[in-house]
Structure 1
Amino acid sequence: MKHKLIYILLTLASVITYGQVNLSLDADKSEYGGKDIVNLTIVLELNGSDLVQQTGFQLPDLSKFNIIGSGSVTNTVIDPATNTLITQKVSRIALEPKKKGKIKIGSVLVTVNNKIYKTEPFDVNIRDLVDKRSLAGNTSNEVFLNMEVDDREVFQDQAVIAVLKVYSRNLDNLRKVKNIHLPEQDNINVHPINFNKSEIDPSGSGNMASQILAMFMVFPNEAGYVEIPGVSASVNSYSNKNKIISNKVKLNVKRLPDGAPDCFKNAVGKFKVNVYNASKEKPEAKKPMNVVIKVSGEGNLPDMELPKIASSPDYEIFAPKITSKVSPGTTGMKGEILASYVIIPKKAGVISIKTEQFAFFNPENREYVDLGQKTLDFNAFSHEQVMEARSTVEKVNDYTNNLLETVNTPVLKTTSFKVKEKSKFHWNILLTNIAVLLGLFVLYLLFKTWQKKRTLVRETVPSKSLGSVAETEKEIKELLKTDINDYFSYLENLKDNGEYEKFFDTLEELDQEVRSQYFHGSAAEFKTFLENHKGSSVADDYGRLQQKIQMEKYAPVKSHEGIEELLKTIVNLYSQISK
């Protein structure tokens, strides 16, 4: 009988405690000074899996305070003793009192399972307030920064969107906030979304106008509680410059689930991997080729560890060049990242290039996705096989191209008539080449006839006065001066046709022509001349240009973008020198 009574009492106790709701509102202290901030903490605890919070926290009348910051965090645990689900939601509100004396803080209301719960009201005592002046020359024009985060509970390396807002009673102060510096910390990676200011909201919190200053993404790279440092900015006035800092935000970063593949590094989001040959020429043994690994998708794309090309005795690998094309998305940074490798096949025959295995974690489905290896198979030809594979028409075209390249003048631009390799026989191409050669021969005859007529006309024209020695020297220099615009057009044509070897030969000829205008032989002497007559900045730019030319000239694989950037630098510098 005694054991039955104990069992009944325990059953009643479990029924009473099951489904318990605890709601509390507390301040960090009961008495505050004039400069103190009142911190309110709201705690809602639900003991039971059948309890559902139907409304958010309904705050009491806080018109006697200025709300300068707020935040909340939710934790869920299971009590191992009773096997009960416990959900705890904690919210904090930072208040600035407007008046002194005893201020009453009312009840917080919340609805759980169609029942309203409320807290008990209490009083806080505010001592004498201090008249604050945040800006020199202004009265009661405080400016506050507040950083707001959409989700404080995320996985490791998952994106968190943060919004930076400014609050002030004076609308003019909002326009003076500048020089925004985003937080920097080892355990977070920060990427800006935009710094576009929004329209001013005159009805902000605490009867203050507000404006969005910036939006940025935060990727926490470690699990646990991670604190985002405050964002700093400056408020510029006519008399001085003040620095303001926003609130800090604490994130609950969840550790990634167990069961990750061995090839998983730190990729979180949704991604695809592709590998392809970016070289236009046929793969040839012991000749460099360009192989690209493209990773596209949305997530922590700029900070993730990219898959690499696996080593093999069949080819040699060089360090890749990384190119990124990313922009902010809804769940992370989206776009693509290209890793461009220089690969040199060591033998002829079938070669298989494989990437490392790659896996990522999808936070939406909370599962790991293993993409495995990506393979690029190709047949590398020997040099003899490449030469034997050329058809008769291709050999004729190659001979014609070599002949056109021997016309050493940038004015004719004969390389524009070069014939690209075709897989089929085209009579039109052959006839076009013959017509071009006949046209050049006719132009040559016409040019010789014109020269003879010009010589006869000069003989009949009376000789002009020789003039002074200075005038004669100036005239000779003008005659010697080369029109470098012809060289620029010719180099542009060579760049578009991919004739990089001829491009650098013509560039060397251009440099010699420009230096000869000033009667300086070597590049070192010419640099000294530029420093004395054009300034040290032009001389330094000339020296750096020569180094850049050498690097691009002897690069194993030349990129079209690099040559185009080099040509822009050449046009700007040599146009400035030849003025």
Structure 2
Amino acid sequence: MQKRLIYILFILASVISYGQVNLSLETDKAEYNGKDIVNLTIILELNGSELVQQTGFQLPDLSKFNIIGSGSVTNTFIDPATNTLITQKVSRIALEPKKKGKIKIGSVLVTVNNKIYKTEPFDVNIKEILDRRSLAGNMSAEMYMNMEIEDRDIYQDQATVAVLRVYSKNMDNFRKVKDVHLPHQDNINVHPVSFSKSEIDPSASGNMASQIVAVFMVFPNESGYVEVPSVSASVSSYSNKNKIVSNKVKLNVKKLPEGSPECFKNAVGNFNVSVYNASKDKIEVEKPINVIVKVSGEGNLPDMYLPKIIASPDYEVFSPKITSKVAPGTTGMKGEILANYVVIPKKPGPISIQTEQFAFFDPANREYVDLGQKTLALNAFSHEQILESRTTVEKVNEYTNTLLETVNTPVLKTTTLKVKEKSKFHWNILFTNIAILVGLFVIYLLFKTWQKKRALVRETTSSKPLGSVAETESEIRETLKTDINDYFSYLENLKDQADYPKFFDTLEEMDLDVRKQYFQSSPEDFRLFLETHKGSSVAEQYRNLIQRIQMEKYSPLKSPEGMEELLKAVVNLYSQISK
């Protein structure tokens, strides 16, 4: 009888041990400081080969934490004592608390053989979560600054918003916070959103009021754990100036998904690409045109690689001028970026200008979008074709524009001479005008009397004797002397109007007039004259300037900056020569 009981107990023990499921959820400790990481450990143990885990671990609500890391491992072995297959799965999750106090961690659920198992919920106590950095003197106990980033689990090159908040017991301290310096680091791109101070919130923690002093966007450009450095600000008072520093924040930056297109570089957001010709005139061979590649949308717009225009034997393309029109949006920087290319067609006929392929990653849909190439179809004409295609009206307009650009025709603003009607006659205005007219008449009579007296004095003075040959030559040179300032003003107007052919013709005309003033026929003779009378330095400057003018004149592409520097050199040298 006793042997039968022992045998029955062994059978019951084997049945109980067979098919057993153990699920547990633990933390490394029950109480944490604000900077500590909460480590959750989930252990699932299956005793028996018939047990099958049908679902993964269903985690509780962890919205009060930032998940900064996770990992799992599975071990399988056979218990030699009971000859039972044991499968053990261990998962660890690293959490960063967002607030202090008691935080409840709910149950973890898992389904094994159509049966749901769960753990018991429990609380963890967070003592203090805010990182305080002290000020100088006795201000550390009553004021500190905290950087808050709500979304810390993002993709590479995706935007997350950081809010900089100042806490203080004394509300008078808020007006002293100035000069917020945003963080700078190689693995993040920072763009300001607002430096406007918000309303003071008196209901902050620890009997302290709070105020938002800055909002900015952070774009991490590498994956992994990225730490946003501290933000500093100055606290100025009448007696001294102190510095306040915020906490650092860690971001969990996820790698972009695999399977990206070959043309993908670093664009993350939602974008569109277009290309168009900004020049309104007909396209002529060997004449530059402006082709603009526009990228618009929202995301890491200021930091992304723009699609370039592909080189071709049909045209010559130069480096673009980049213009940005970007403002903060909801999921990144929003606006458009324009790349202005100078393109010179090389042959007449149809020309196809193509950009590089462009793709971006859309974090909202978690997918790559390939926009492909953008093509601009143009039709270039030769110079003879341009002349033949002009209508009579266009020729008349061209002659008229040339006349208006050549001749100075000042226009009177007749609207300023219009007399406003008055509903009532003012005698004071009439008498004032009469007094002004009488005064002007008296001044005119005095001026005429002074002129008559001066003429009498001139007649009584002796005539000037004839001078030497050198003096006579000097007088002739003064008579022939060119008003160089008129040329300078005219050249400035031509440069601003970008009328470069007329600009260089006027330069040659001015140089000829200056040489005639000194009785020199050729630039080489004039250089020898300058070397004799003005010095070798001025002569060498003249020779270099003449060469530079010829190079700029026949250059296929002239920049406004280069023409500005050339005009400054001309004014400087010819002002010295004409002294």
Asked if TM exceeds 0.5, the reply is yes
2:393 is aligned to 393
Output the CA distance in 1 between the equivalents of 2:13 and 2:502: 101
| Structural mapping, 1:365-444, within 5 Å | 365-407=365-407, 409=408, 411-412=410-411
Per the alignment, residue 202 of structure 1 pairs with 202
User: 2:246 matched to which residue of 1?
Assistant: 246
Taking the aligned partners of 1:183 and 1:6, their CA distance within structure 2 comes to: 64
User: What amino acid is the match of 1:73?
Assistant: I
Q: Would the alpha carbon gap of residues 316 and 27 (structure 1) be closer, same or farther in structure 2, given more than 3 Å must change?
A: same
Distance, in Å, in 1 between the alignment partners of 2:92 and 2:380 is: 63
Q: Letter of the aligned partner of 2:218 in structure 1?
A: V
Q: Does the Cα contact within 8 Å between 1:24 and 1:119 map onto a contact in 2? A: no
What residue identity is the alignment partner of 1:11? G
2:296 is the alignment partner of 1:296 = yes
Structure 1 residue runs without a partner (length 5+)? 29-36, 58-70, 96-105, 125-131, 414-456, 470-480, 513-546, 567-579
CA distance in 2, matches of 1:169, 1:42: 30
Provide the C-alpha distance between the structure 2 equivalents of 1:278 and 1:197, rounded to a whole number of angstroms. Answer: 42
CA RMSD of aligned residues (A): 4.7
Which residue does 1:11 correspond to in 2?
A: 19
* 1:22 matches 2:26: yes
- Provide the C-alpha distance between the structure 2 equivalents of 1:76 and 1:365, rounded to a whole number of angstroms: 23
Equivalent of 2:105, from 110, 133, 141? 110
- Residue 188 to residue 482, structure 1, CA distance change in 2 (3 Å): same
Which amino acid in the other structure matches residue 302 of structure 2? Answer: P
Aligned to 2:310: 310
2:221 aligns to what?
Answer: 221
The alignment's TM-score, normalised by the length of structure 2, stands at 0.62
Once the two structures are superposed, residues 32-74 of structure 1 have per-residue CA deviations (whole angstroms, 9 ceiling, x without a partner) of: xxxxx874544445567463524766xxxxxxxxxxxxx7335
**AA of the residue aligned to 1:118:** F
Quote the offset at 1:207 in angstroms: 1.7
Looking at structure 1, the residues matched to 411 and 352 of structure 2 have their Cα atoms a distance apart, in angstroms, of: 45
Distance 2:59 2:162 in 1: 28
- How far did 1:373 drift? 0.7
CA distance in structure 2 between the aligned counterparts of 1:110 and 1:243, rounded to whole angstroms = 39
Q: What code does the residue aligned with 1:111 have?
A: G
> Does structure 1 residue 279 correspond to structure 2 residue 279?
yes
Deviation at 1:11, TM superposition (A): 2.6
Counterpart residue number, 1:430: none
8 Å contact from structure 1 (residues 55, 112) kept in 2: no
How far 1:246 moved relative to its partner? 0.8
Aligned with 1:53 (options 27, 43, 60): 60
Is the alpha carbon distance of 1:3 and 1:293 closer, same or farther for their aligned partners in structure 2, counting shifts above 3 Å? farther
Distance 1:187 1:234 in 2: 25
Does residue 556 of the first structure (1) align with residue 557 of the second (2)? Answer: yes
Structure 1 residues 140, 107: CA separation in 2 closer, same or farther (over 3 Å shift)?
A: closer
1:141 CA displacement = 4.9
1:143 aligns with: 143
Q: Alignment partner for residue 66 of structure 2, among 72, 79, 86? A: 72
Match of 2:58, as an amino acid?
L
In the TM superposition, what is the alpha-carbon distance from 1:92 to its structure 2 partner?
Answer: 4.3
Name the CA shift for 1:244/1:134 in 2 (closer, same or farther; >3 Å).
closer
Cα offset, 1:75, TM superposition = 3.8
In the alignment, residue 271 of structure 2 is paired with which amino acid? F
**SS of the residue aligned with 1:393?**
helix
Structure 1 contact 317–342 (Cα < 8 Å) conserved: yes
Could you tell me whether the CA contact under 8 Å between 1:202 and 1:209 is conserved in 2? yes
1:49–1:85: 8 Å Cα contact kept in structure 2? no
Q: Classify the secondary structure of the residue corresponding to 1:266.
A: coil
Question: 1:57-102 CA deviation, whole Å, 9 max, x = no partner?
Answer: 6xxxxxxxxxxxxx7335454545469694725134798xxxxxxx
**2:95 is matched by which residue type in structure 1?**
V
Structure 1 position 267 matched with structure 2 position 273: no
Alpha-carbon distance between aligned partners in 1 of 2:366 and 2:99, rounded to the nearest angstrom: 35
CA distance in 1, matches of 2:287, 2:126: 82
1:91 corresponds to 2:91: no
Q: Distance in 1 between matches of 2:262 and 2:319?
A: 24
Please report how far the alpha carbon of residue 284 of structure 1 lies from its aligned counterpart in structure 2 after TM superposition.
0.8
The count of aligned residue pairs is 423
Displacement of 1:157? 0.6
CA 1:341–1:169 in 2, change beyond 3 Å: closer, same or farther? same
What SS does the corresponding residue of 1:402 show, helix, strand or coil? helix
Give the TM-score, by structure 1 length.
0.62
Give the fraction of aligned pairs with identical amino acids, expressed as a percent: 51
